[in-house]
Every structure is written in C-alpha cells, then in structure tokens.
Amino acid sequence: MTGHACRIGFFITAALATVCMLSAVSTAAAQEGTIVAWGWNDRGQCNVPAPNSGFLAVAGGGEHSLGLKPDGSIVAWGRNDYGQCNVSAPNSGFVAVAGGGFHSLGLKTDGSIVAWGYDLGPVPAPNSGFVAIAGGRYHSLGLKADGSIVAWGWNGYGQCDVPAPNSGFVGIAAGVSHSLGLKADGSIVAWGWNYYGQCNVPAPNSGFGAVAAGGYHSLGLEADASIVAWGFNDYGQCDVPAPNSDFGAVAASDHHSLGLKADGSIVAWGDNGYGQCNVPAPNTDFVAVAAGYYHSLGLKAFHGDLNCDGVLNFDDINPLLLALSDPAAYTAAFPWCHLLNADCNTDGTINSDDIDAFVEILSGG
C-alpha cells in the first residue's frame, strides 16, 4: 500500500472508531441517486415515479424515460401506447437500459437483451454475449463481448448494415436512421442515412472515447475531454459551447445535445423550444446524462454508496478507500458506479476530507 493509501486508511480507521461508539448505526436508506428530468412533458416523460432515489443509470426514449435500480429492476414512465414502459417480466437481473423511439431495451446479467414496446422483431440469435445496447427510432444495436455489433429492426437506410470488418468495437450509439460504432483504436464508424452528413466523421477520426447519436447529428467525446459534433445543425446542436473542455460524457437527441462536465454540471445546447436545454438548478452532482426527443435527463450522485447497491453501510468502506487512494482502480473494479459518489461532503473534490462526511452519512447525521 502506498503512503497516501496508508494515510487514507488511518483516517478511515480513526473515523470508524467514532462510528462504532454511536448507539444506532446500521443501514442508511437510499436518499440520493435521483433522476432530474426537464423539457417537454406532454406524456409525463419528466415525471419520475416515486421513490425517486437509488438509481444507477438513466436513459431517454422518444417520449418516455427509463431508470435502472440497484436490484436490477427497471422503472419506466412516459408515453406507453406501444407498451414501451411495460418492462417485460421478470423485471430483474438488468445491468443496462436504453430507450428507442417507441421501444425499450434492457441488458441482462447473462448477456442477453430483452426488448419491449414497438415490435422491431426478435433479437437476432444467439441472444447472448452482449455487453452494451442502444436504441434508434425504429432499430436497435447490441455490442457483443467479442467486439462485433448486432443490428436489427427497420433498415430502410442501411442503419442495420454494420460495415466490415465488424470487429474491434467498444461502444455504440443509434440515431433516428443512422448508427455509430466506436473502435478500440479511438476511431468512429458511422453508417445509415447520411443526408445531413451525420455519418461523415470529421478528420482526424481518432482519439475518441465515447459516442452519441442524435436525430440527424452525431457527437464524439475526445480523449482530451472535448466534444466533436457533426451533421444537421439547424438549431445549433453541433455548436458546442465554449469552453469545449472537461467533458466526461455526451448525449444527443433529435435537435439538442448534452455534455456532462467533470465537475458534475451539465451543458446543453441546440433546440430549446420546450426548455430541454434549461438544466434545473442546482446544476451540480450529476454523474450521467440522457436525452429523449425533446426532454433531457440527469442522474445525481448517490454520495457514500461506493459499491452502488442502493444502501449505505459498512460494505461501502473498502470501496471508499479504493476510490480515495486509486480512482482508476476503483473505476475498473466498480464500472457500474460513479466516482463522484465518493464526494461525500459535496465540495466538488474527492480527498480525505470526505471521510468524516462519509461517517456522518453512515451514522444518519
């Protein structure tokens, strides 16, 4: 253990001695991990069902929204005329969620995909070995563990015809009628409808770490934390606001774009006809971002829940120690969690000052 880690361990040991002297320390109920939704709400897509807490992930469909809970269940709300909010039974064992135009997707722990809502046909066999999912308006994408992409649904513009070689992919995104695949070498492959240039990745096509597909535009997150945008720009959805830096995640919808900053704030730009770019205050503590047609979603941190099981207890201590001493190792060990959960005193930094705050949270203070 490094000297820094030893010091962190000492602080935790001393703080926990205080916890052990408290008369009633057990398990704290989930009070964070909330979803914030804003923009067009004609179908209730911004009305997060109670209890709005303990979410691990969020996704936006056309006019519906989805959230993933720590118990592996999915909560869905909003437009439901095609059953896109009726999660297929059993509603358990999910590890990822995605929304399409009028359908929804869930990835199971066994690597299979469950789809419900507008019928785009069955998931192509074999329905196994998947590690990521994405939903377009009338098509779906699944990323296999072997780095290949499976696509199905409406293929009127070739959005389901993955270009060869179909290998080496590490990320996927689906737009209205185009698709994106992120390669392990940091390049982006785009296919499908290209009327607005949404498949023309700007040069140099390298250094990307994440992708997002809007209705008719595309976004790529560079290794230097800047965003590259291309395609239809009628509402300025490709004009990333300055400073174009410090981004950690991206999302896109029909005519607007979202970027999540390293400090936990969200930047939104493009069409704002329904307020979908007006991030509600306080614009802090966000750990994930998503978008529907004309609404936006942000997931707040669950401070102190370092193993992301939806509760605060002593099981979070070792993950906290790891997050404080080696953030990269923590992210690798808990890829479904968010490092900002370690910011227990909510000051925007992660350091030993968060230990006392963690103890206070754990003790119900």
* Higher pLDDT among residues 310 and 233, named by residue: 233
Sign, CA torsion 270/275/281/284: negative
Q: Could you tell me the residue ranges of all domains in the chain?
A: 3-29+312-362, 35-300
Whether the CB-CB separation of 8 and 324 falls below 8 Å is answered with: yes
Tokens (6 digits) for 125: 């066999």
What are the C-alpha distances in Å from 258 to residues 26, 61, 100, 337?
39, 15, 17, 20
Position 340 confidence tier, pLDDT thresholds 50, 70, 90: confident
- pLDDT at residue 220 tops 50: yes
Position 19 confidence tier, pLDDT thresholds 50, 70, 90: very low
What are the C-alpha distances in Å from 337 to residues 30, 100, 206, 300, 319?
15, 24, 27, 12, 10
* pLDDT for the residue numbered 177: 98
Sign, CA torsion 326/314/343/347: negative
What percent of the chain stands above pLDDT 90? 75
> Which CATH number among 2.130.10.30, 2.60.120.620, 3.90.600.10, 3.40.640.10 corresponds to the domain 35-300?
2.130.10.30
- pLDDT at residue 11 tops 60: no
Average pLDDT, integer, range 15-40: 60
Q: What is the pTM of this model?
A: 0.90
Position 49 confidence tier, pLDDT thresholds 50, 70, 90: very high
Whether the CB-CB separation of 38 and 275 falls below 8 Å is answered with: yes
Kindly report, residue by residue over 223-276, the tens digit of the pLDDT: 999 999 999 999 999 999 999 999 999 999 999 999 999 999 999 999 999 999
Residue 331, Cβ density class (10 Å: 0-12 exposed, 13-18 middle, ≥19 buried): middle
* Higher pLDDT among residues 145 and 361, named by residue: 145
Q: What is the DSSP string of 83-102?
A: STTSPPSS---EEEEEE-SS
* pLDDT for the residue numbered 1: 46
Nearest to 137 by CA among 161, 172, 105, 101: 101
What percent of the chain stands above pLDDT 70? 91
**What are the helix (H) ranges across 130-281?**
none
* pLDDT for the residue numbered 10: 46
- pLDDT at residue 310 tops 60: yes
- pLDDT at residue 16 tops 50: no
Residue 26, Cβ density class (10 Å: 0-12 exposed, 13-18 middle, ≥19 buried): exposed
How high is the mean pLDDT of the chain? 91
Phi, psi of 313 (to 5 degrees): -155, -170
* pLDDT for the residue numbered 312: 82
- pLDDT at residue 24 tops 60: no
* pLDDT for the residue numbered 18: 43
* pLDDT for the residue numbered 365: 56
- pLDDT at residue 332 tops 80: yes
Kindly report, residue by residue over 100-147, the tens digit of the pLDDT: 999 999 999 999 999 999 999 999 999 999 999 999 999 999 999 999
- pLDDT at residue 153 tops 90: yes
Q: Name the residue with tokens 């807490």.
A: 53
Kindly report, residue by residue over 312-323, the tens digit of the pLDDT: 888 888 898 898
Q: Is 78 helix (H, G, I), strand (E, B) or coil?
A: strand
